[in-house]
């Protein structure tokens, strides 16, 4: 084969791999392209490539020193009226050039505008995590998401393969993991979790679950690799392991099934089990990175377990955090001895982390900053920007979600490198990742609704230069890609009908109490302080989530009790305030609200008492209530509002005491 024939073959293969001949994308018109993620540099020239023999007129060169960023995947794409010329730093760069070409090409005519693009990824880790434990997702579904990831130039699919709700990967040595721990009573996670949390033998009538065979996973790994995507498997430890510790109860501290989420770290059998499992995992997944969980361990049983205590004594470990750290380091060393790199959620820093481990910062941006400044390579995936189990619009228009509110614009606003880091520390931030936890995501169409278009924004954060972000331009491109993916059968959120944040939160409200002092007869909770002592009179209503820094949370004895000082006696005609309910995180409407007024701060006159039966449900609910004069105003300087939760206890949240 001559060099030219070889090049046209390569071009033809790339076209097929990129889906160009099968599914051409919407036209990019000069200066208004629809490429996501936005290329580092794009310059339209006049004219268009109109020939039908695209792969015959394409030339692809691999030019190893082309990469400016040092991150694999860079390319230059030059389209003239007669030719398509790709120079790529490596084969992944050529693949990404094809994705860009696909996005530029008019689907109806095949016409491509003449353009010069120089492009390179900002981060090496551009990830998406799919939870397949809480609900089980088919291989076909995973392949469809891999296709979409490839188009978005994402390159890591992290599979959360194990959790209490079900073990999802075949392990020859421990058959109960898939014949028992992969099956449960209750197809919906919430029915199982809020019910008896029973596991069932495979084949039991009504058992819900599933697992992937090794063969299926090897094929999936290959499918992903052909699209320059690495599958990073996650095996949870030391916690989130109820399913393992019920199938193999001898690996827990007391040996009792259905009692533990954490492995016993005092037992050598635990390490033998985990190393055997990881050995089989490494045989399936060639990924450099193996995720070993590390999040949310209760650590309670360890404090009382003689074997855990003996381990702590023998190893000179000061506390249970150091005991966890011992386990994570020991398993990390095992992986390193096999040439792999451990990855863990940011709690692996507790008690000290192995400097070679990659930290996945989920609890906050600050945790990522701490990890990077401490020298660990870090993937940023903070809940505030990267958790797709949240509502992306008005909750009343969407299926029940875990909670929260993360609109497309907020994902797009994420800057993964905190400004306080030095250049060396900043270089430790190796990427970003979106996570789809699936407690409240039972079906494949529902999962796609949660992912798209938010994954477009994550992809642009991960790939495109930090400078030059423009949300309006991005949203226009996102609308085009939504339409395209919908035409291909994906269940995409209807971005064109997005409502945005809660209408009340969109503009400040003027009222008599704005800026007035609030006396707290019972304290607010410091985690949900919102603006602190001024939050309830700052003129700002809260949005769709209590976590947005505008809602103030009260949990101390389940009550809110505040007095607003208007500064002088005034004529008051109404006092009103909003409450919200989202039952998952135990946020409830109050069972009783009492509003009273006083001119001297001592003698209060009750204006209104509102009682309500609090009912658990799946919805996110907002109510506005208060006292409204039927005609006559009252003279008052002090307004006291008391609210208490009902029999469920939990939180009371309010955002503003509006006095008129
Ligand atoms: C996590 O969300 N527990 C990592
Ligand atoms: Zn123990």
User: Residue 640, SS3?
Assistant: strand
Instruction: Give 1's pLDDT tier (boundaries 50, 70, 90).
Output: very low
| Digit-coded pLDDT (tens) for 316-357 | 999 999 999 999 999 999 999 999 999 999 999 999 889 999
pLDDT at residue 28 greater than cutoff 70? no
- Residue 175 Cα to ligand 2 midpoint, Å, equals 24
- Residue 43 Cα to ligand 1 midpoint, Å, equals 42
User: Does residue 104 lie in a domain region?
Assistant: yes
User: Does residue 201 lie in a domain region?
Assistant: yes
> CB count, 10 Å around CB of 433?
25
Q: Of the ligands numbered here, which is closest to the C-alpha atom of 347? A: 1
pLDDT at residue 247 greater than cutoff 80? yes
Looking at the structure, tell me whether residues 258 and 130 fall in a common domain: yes
Q: Of the ligands numbered here, which is closest to the C-alpha atom of 164? A: 1
Instruction: Give 27's pLDDT tier (boundaries 50, 70, 90).
Output: very low
- Return d(Cα 588, Cα 382) in angstroms, integer: 26
Q: Nearest CA to 534 among 515, 507, 552, 548?
A: 515
| Digit-coded pLDDT (tens) for 355-399 | 999 999 999 999 999 999 999 999 999 999 999 999 999 999 999
Q: Which residue has the tokens 């959620």?
A: 345
pLDDT at residue 22 greater than cutoff 80? no
| Digit-coded pLDDT (tens) for 124-181 | 999 999 999 999 999 999 999 999 999 999 999 999 999 999 999 999 999 999 999 9
Looking at the structure, tell me whether residues 246 and 383 fall in a common domain: yes
User: Residue 137, SS3?
Assistant: coil
Predicted pLDDT at 204: 98
Q: Which atom of ligand 1 is nearest to the CA of 240?
A: 3
Radius of gyration over alpha carbons of the chain, in Å?
28
Looking at the structure, tell me whether residues 107 and 157 fall in a common domain: no
For 95, phi then psi, to 5°, come to: -60, -45
Mean pLDDT over residues 224-251, rounded?
98
Query: What's the distance, Cα to Cα, between the start and end of the chain in Å?
Result: 84
User: Does residue 498 lie in a domain region?
Assistant: no
pLDDT at residue 2 greater than cutoff 70? no
User: Does residue 191 lie in a domain region?
Assistant: yes
Check if 363 has its Cβ closer than 6 Å to any atom of ligand 1: no
Q: Nearest CA to 324 among 366, 365, 304, 296?
A: 296
Predicted pLDDT at 3: 46
Looking at the structure, tell me whether residues 112 and 225 fall in a common domain: no
Q: Nearest CA to 525 among 587, 601, 614?
A: 587
- CATH number (domain holding residue 449): 3.20.20.80
Looking at the structure, tell me whether residues 19 and 139 fall in a common domain: no
Among 127, 236, 298, 345, the mutation site with the greatest number of ligand 1 atoms within 8 A of its Cβ is 345
For 172, phi then psi, to 5°, come to: -60, -40
- Return d(Cα 485, Cα 144) in angstroms, integer: 11
Sequence-ordered list of residues with C-beta below 8 angstroms from that of 180, at least 6 positions apart, any chain = 199, 200, 201, 202, 246, 247
Q: Which atom of ligand 1 is nearest to the CA of 345?
A: 4
pLDDT at residue 438 greater than cutoff 50? yes
> CB count, 10 Å around CB of 400?
18
Instruction: Give 114's pLDDT tier (boundaries 50, 70, 90).
Output: very high
Cβ pair 564, 557 in contact under 8 A: no
Check if 296 has its Cβ closer than 6 Å to any atom of ligand 1: yes
Domain boundary among 95, 119, 143: 119
Q: What is the per-residue DSSP string for 485-541? A: HHHTT-----GGG---S-GGGSS----TTTT-EEEESSPPPGGG-TTGGGGGGSS--
Looking at the structure, tell me whether residues 110 and 129 fall in a common domain: no
pLDDT at residue 556 greater than cutoff 60? yes
Domain boundary among 87, 119, 151: 119
- Return d(Cα 365, Cα 421) in angstroms, integer: 12
User: Does residue 109 lie in a domain region?
Assistant: yes
Check if 387 has its Cβ closer than 6 Å to any atom of ligand 1: no
Q: Of the ligands numbered here, which is closest to the C-alpha atom of 364? A: 1
Predicted pLDDT at 23: 36
- Return d(Cα 405, Cα 480) in angstroms, integer: 23
Strand order of the sheet with strand 84-88?
A: 41-49, 112-119, 75-79, 84-88, 58-62
Which residues constitute the domain of residue 151?
125-493
Q: Which residue has the tokens 């990855």?
A: 343
> CB count, 10 Å around CB of 30?
14
Per-position b or e across 215-245, b if 16+ CB within 10 A of its CB: ebbeebbebbeebbbbbbbbbbbbbbbbbbb
Predicted pLDDT at 569: 98
Strand partners, 342: 290
Per-chain residues with Cβ under 5 A from ion ligand 2: 253, 264, 266, 305, 307-308
Cβ pair 170, 211 in contact under 8 A: yes
Q: How many residues does the chain have?
A: 660
| Digit-coded pLDDT (tens) for 566-618 | 999 999 999 999 999 999 889 999 999 999 999 999 999 999 999 999 999 98
pTM: 0.94
- Return d(Cα 15, Cα 303) in angstroms, integer: 59
What's the domain count of the chain? 3
Instruction: Look up residue 600 and give its DSSP letter.
Output: S
- CATH number (domain holding residue 524): 2.60.120.260
User: Does residue 585 lie in a domain region?
Assistant: yes
Chain mean pLDDT for the chain: 94
Looking at the structure, tell me whether residues 103 and 146 fall in a common domain: no
Task: Give the dihedral sign, CA 46/51/57/60.
Answer: positive
User: Does residue 640 lie in a domain region?
Assistant: yes
Check if 362 has its Cβ closer than 6 Å to any atom of ligand 1: yes
User: Residue 102, SS3?
Assistant: helix
Q: Judging by DSSP bridges, how do beta strands 574-581 and 592-598 pair with one another?
A: unpaired
| Digit-coded pLDDT (tens) for 446-462 | 999 999 999 999 999 99
Among 161, 297, 362, the mutation site with the greatest number of ligand 1 atoms within 8 A of its Cβ is 362
Looking at the structure, tell me whether residues 336 and 259 fall in a common domain: yes
Omega before 453 cis (within 30°)?
yes
Q: Which residues are catalytic?
A: 163, 240, 296
Looking at the structure, tell me whether residues 355 and 240 fall in a common domain: yes
- Residue 344 Cα to ligand 2 midpoint, Å, equals 21
Looking at the structure, tell me whether residues 604 and 579 fall in a common domain: yes
Looking at the structure, tell me whether residues 457 and 334 fall in a common domain: yes
Domain boundary among 119, 154, 177: 119
Looking at the structure, tell me whether residues 417 and 511 fall in a common domain: no
Cα within 13 Å of Cα(319), Cβ side: 5
| Digit-coded pLDDT (tens) for 500-514 | 999 999 999 999 999
- CATH number (domain holding residue 85): 3.30.379.10
Q: Nearest CA to 418 among 460, 378, 475?
A: 378
User: Residue 582, SS3?
Assistant: strand
User: Does residue 307 lie in a domain region?
Assistant: yes
pLDDT at residue 228 greater than cutoff 60? yes
Predicted pLDDT at 81: 96
Instruction: Give 12's pLDDT tier (boundaries 50, 70, 90).
Output: low
Going through 56-161 in order, the beta strands assigned E by DSSP cover: 58-62, 75-79, 84-88, 112-119, 125-131, 156-160
């Amino acid at each position: 084969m001559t060099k030219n024939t070889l090049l046209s073959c390569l071009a033809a293969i790339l076209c097929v791999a990129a889906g160009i001949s099968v599914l051409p994308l919407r036209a990019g018109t000069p200066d208004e392209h629809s490429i996501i993620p936005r290329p580092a540099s794009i310059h339209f020239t006049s004219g268009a490539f109109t020939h039908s023999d695209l792969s015959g007129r394409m030339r692809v060169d691999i030019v190893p020193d082309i990469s400016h960023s040092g991150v694999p995947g860079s390319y230059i794409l030059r389209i003239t009226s007669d030719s398509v010329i790709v120079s790529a730093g490596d084969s992944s760069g050529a693949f990404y050039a094809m994705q860009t070409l696909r996005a530029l090409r008019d689907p109806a005519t095949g016409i491509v505008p003449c353009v010069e693009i120089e492009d390179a990824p900002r981060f090496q880790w551009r990830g998406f995590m799919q939870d397949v434990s809480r609900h089980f997702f088919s291989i076909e579904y995973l392949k469809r998401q891999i296709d979409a990831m490839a188009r978005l130039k994402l390159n890591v699919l992290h599979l959360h393969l194990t959790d209490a709700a079900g073990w999802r990967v075949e392990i020859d040595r421990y058959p109960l993991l898939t014949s028992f721990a992969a099956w449960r009573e209750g197809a919906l996670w919430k029915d199982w979790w809020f019910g008896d949390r029973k596991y069932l033998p495979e084949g039991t009538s009504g058992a819900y679950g599933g697992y992937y065979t090794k063969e299926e996973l090897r094929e999936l790994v290959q499918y992903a690799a052909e699209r320059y995507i690495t599958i990073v498997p996650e095996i949870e430890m030391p916690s989130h392991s109820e399913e393992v510790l019920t199938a193999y109860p001898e690996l827990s501290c007391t040996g009792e099934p259905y009692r533990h989420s954490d492995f016993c770290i005092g037992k050598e059998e635990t390490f033998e089990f985990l190393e055997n499992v990881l050995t089989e995992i490494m045989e399936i997944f060639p990924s450099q990175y193996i995720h070993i969980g590390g999040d949310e361990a209760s650590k309670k049983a360890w404090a009382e377990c003689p074997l855990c205590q003996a381990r702590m004594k023998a190893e000179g470990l000061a506390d249970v955090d150091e005991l966890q750290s011992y386990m994570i380091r020991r398993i990390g060393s095992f992986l390193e001895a096999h040439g792999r790199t451990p990855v863990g959620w940011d709690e692996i820093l507790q008690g000290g982390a192995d400097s070679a481990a990659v930290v996945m910062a989920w609890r906050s941006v600050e945790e990522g900053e701490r990890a990077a400044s401490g020298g660990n390579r870090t993937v940023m995936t903070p809940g505030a920007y990267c958790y797709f189990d949240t509502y992306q619009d008005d909750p009343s228009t969407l299926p029940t979600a875990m909670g929260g509110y993360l609109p497309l614009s907020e994902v797009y606003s994420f800057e993964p490198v905190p400004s306080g880091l030095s250049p060396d520390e900043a270089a430790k931030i190796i990427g970003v990742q979106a996570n789809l936890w699936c407690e409240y995501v039972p079906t494949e169409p529902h999962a796609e609704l949660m992912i798209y278009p938010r994954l477009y924004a994550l992809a642009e954060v991960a790939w495109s230069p930090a400078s030059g972000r423009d949300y309006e331009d991005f949203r226009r491109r996102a609308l085009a890609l939504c339409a395209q993916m919908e035409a291909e059968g994906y269940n995409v959120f209807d971005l064109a009908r997005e409502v945005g944040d809660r209408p009340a939160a969109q503009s400040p409200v003027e009222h008599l109490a704005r800026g007035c002092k609030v006396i707290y007869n019972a304290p607010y909770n410091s985690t949900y302080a919102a603006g602190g002592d001024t939050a309830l009179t700052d003129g700002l209503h809260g949005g769709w989530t209590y976590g947005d820094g505008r809602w103030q949370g009260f949990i101390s004895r389940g009550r809110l009790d505040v007095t607003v000082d208007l500064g002088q006696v005034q004529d008051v005609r109404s006092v009103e305030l909003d409450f919200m309910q989202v039952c998952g995180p135990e946020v409830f409407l109050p069972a009783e609200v009492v509003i009273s007024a006083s001119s001297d701060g001592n003698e209060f006159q009750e204006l209104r008492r509102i009682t309500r039966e609090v009912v658990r449900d799946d919805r996110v609910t907002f109510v506005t209530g208060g006292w409204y004069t039927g005609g006559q105003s009252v003279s008052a300087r002090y307004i006291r509002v008391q609210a208490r939760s009902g029999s469920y206890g939990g939180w009371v949240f309010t955002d503003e005491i509006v006095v008129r």
